[in-house]
Amino acid sequence: MREGTGERIFIKLGGSLITDKRRERRARLRVIRRLAEEIREALGERPGLRILVGHGSGSFGHAAAARTRIYEGISRPEDWWGFAEVALAAAELHMHVRRAFHAAGLPTLSIPPSAVAEAAGGIPIAFEARAFQRAWEVGLIPLTGGDVVFDRERGATILSTEAVFDALLEVLRPTRILLVGEVAGVLADGPEGHQVIPHLTPARFREILHAVGGSHGIDVTGGMRAKLEMALRWVERDPRLEVWIFSGRRPGALRDALRDPLRIQGTRITWA
Amino acid sequence: MREGTGERIFIKLGGSLITDKRRERRARLRVIRRLAEEIREALGERPGLRILVGHGSGSFGHAAAARTRIYEGISRPEDWWGFAEVALAAAELHMHVRRAFHAAGLPTLSIPPSAVAEAAGGIPIAFEARAFQRAWEVGLIPLTGGDVVFDRERGATILSTEAVFDALLEVLRPTRILLVGEVAGVLADGPEGHQVIPHLTPARFREILHAVGGSHGIDVTGGMRAKLEMALRWVERDPRLEVWIFSGRRPGALRDALRDPLRIQGTRITWA
């Protein structure tokens, strides 16, 4: 892969953004189509961008995972039925995203983690990244997402889109990672708050945690905490990398973010 | 992978069997469901069977491939749009097959060759088979099929299901390969004929070819010739392997073939 030819961007489209979490297997098709259109517009202006898109499973994978409980690992032969069920649910949403990107004129290559990754104790230990690399070389958009994968210790595990990005970090060396969800960023006033922290570094985050005495105040609950901790690890591993957490609900937000990162309204995470 | 625990069978469901070749993107859903049901019935009786299923692209992939002409290789950047289009068309049919297998109670793992294989000059040179192996270890049915893949010389190429089986032969060591199509077998009286040759070996095939002076008489045209030559190569590479070419149009034919190979009405290809 030729580096230095331009920006290399990983985009995560959050499950809560592209599905209706209240209803099982309900994709927000209009939102998905809009996001695809925004990416196409940005690429029209900046054809040198290399883009990789991953998406959460939202009400597709999560409902199936909750029902089959395979996130607890596989202990009985029947559990593999749950594995297949979660994989199929994730694939159904994936097809919606893939069709929407294709309809927007974006040529994608679908790479399901279940076909290329293997984990141990929930951590990817093998990840065949060749197809991702080839796709970027020729100008295709690799399309991936959260998925079930085999796990040497637990039988099976679920890899989030963030875990997939994590496994690809050294191979594809993104310059920017955009975590696009429903929430406007990391919030200073709790999960229901409105005050977005504009900039965080690993050092600044430790200071805040110390000051507020743990999980009070700043939203370090559940999904946001995991996302943020992953982002902090990423910038520690690659100090040139910028990670953004922002909302994709406003039409044009993703397009603007791809055109000019300074226009992103959200939380920027950098090493320094 | 533990060998010797039972039969290991690759099944190809032909594109002409599972799609209506006269109409673009028309799956024969009832046929697909019936074939899935027959596999489930056979597995109910012989739970020790290890099964891998691949399917052709029929009127999905072929129409897209003809329109985009990517089988001639990639020469212009725009051709990659055709690559994405053929991949998406193949994936649409794949989802039909996957849903039908799931509905029949068969837990599958989808492994698209475009994500795991790379070719050079049309021949697979790299094939990440780990997911296939793990699936068999835990009792999942790997589901794959004809697909576009990257090619180091041509940019891209199309791998048939037979080419995918070819790449997996040494890794998964099938004991039997069933090529299930619309035609009753290799025909002694030409492509429109009715006289099925019950048994062929590489030596016997060479004798016949010599006797009839090439491609006259015995059906060695087009798709059947490629299928047969591939089958002959397989049994030369593994003399313990049996390959069958038969029709899946008769309800019960695939189920019977899985229960008891001697019941297969078709052409059997063995080394001796």
- Please say if the pLDDT value at position B223 is more than 50: yes
pLDDT at position A158: 92
Residues B271 and B181 in one domain: yes
Domain annotation covers residue A166:
yes
- Please say if the pLDDT value at position A213 is more than 80: no
pLDDT at position B226: 85
Domain annotation covers residue B35:
no
pLDDT at position B143: 98
Look at B116 and A108 and tell me if their CB atoms are within 8 Å.
no
| Chain A residues within an 8 Å CB radius of B128 | 116, 128, 130
pLDDT band for position A221 (cuts 50, 70, 90): low
Instruction: Tell me, yes or no, if B271 comes closer than 8 A to chain A by beta carbon.
Output: no
Which of these ranges, A105-119, B190-204, B233-247, has the smallest mean pLDDT? B190-204
Residues B165 and B203 in one domain: no
Residues B87 and B113 in one domain: yes
Instruction: Tell me, yes or no, if A171 comes closer than 8 A to chain B by beta carbon.
Output: no
Average pLDDT over residues A145-164: 94
Cα(B96)–Cα(B143) distance, rounded to whole angstroms? 12
Domain boundary among B115, B147, B173: B173
The domain that holds B63 is classified in CATH as: 3.40.1160.10
The answer to whether the CB of B30 falls within 8 A of the CB of B38 is no
Identify which of A114, A134, A139 has the shortest CB distance to residue B131: A114
- Please say if the pLDDT value at position A184 is more than 80: yes
Q: A114 to chain B: nearest residue by CA?
A: B131
Domain annotation covers residue A219:
no
CA B3 distance to own-chain centroid: 22
Range(s) of the domain holding residue B215: 175-272
Domain boundary among B145, B173, B201: B173
According to the per-residue pLDDT averaged within each range, which of A132-146, A180-194, B183-197 is highest?
A132-146
Q: B108 to chain A: nearest residue by CA?
A: A84
Which of these ranges, A61-70, A164-173, B235-244, has the smallest mean pLDDT? A61-70
Instruction: Tell me, yes or no, if B138 comes closer than 8 A to chain A by beta carbon.
Output: yes
Regarding predicted confidence, which is higher, A220 or A224?
A224
- pLDDT tens, position by position, A18-68: 999 888 889 999 999 999 999 999 999 999 999 999 999 988 988 888 888
Residues B168 and B190 in one domain: no
Instruction: Tell me, yes or no, if A71 comes closer than 8 A to chain B by beta carbon.
Output: no
Using the CB atoms, write b or e for B183-203: b if 16+ within 10 Å: bbbbbbeeeeeeebbeebbbe
Collapsing DSSP to helix, strand or coil, B195 comes out as coil
Quote the number of domains for chain A. 1
Which of these ranges, A114-118, A175-179, A207-211, B202-206, has the smallest mean pLDDT? A207-211
pLDDT at position B22: 86
pLDDT at position B4: 46
Cα(A153)–Cα(A99) distance, rounded to whole angstroms? 35
Residues counted in chain A: 272
Identify from B52, B94, B134 which residue to disrupt to test chain A contact, counting A C-beta atoms within 10 A and taking the largest count.
B134
Query: What residues of B form the annotated binding site for ATP?
Result: 12-16, 58, 223, 227
Q: How would DSSP label each residue in B3-35? A: -SSS-EEEEEE-HHHHB-TTSTT-B-HHHHHHH
Domain boundary among B128, B146, B173: B173
Average pLDDT over residues B54-71: 86
Residues B168 and B231 in one domain: no
Domain annotation covers residue B37:
no
Identify which of A85, A116, A150 has the shortest CB distance to residue B116: A116
Residues B169 and B184 in one domain: no
Instruction: Give the ipTM.
Output: 0.93
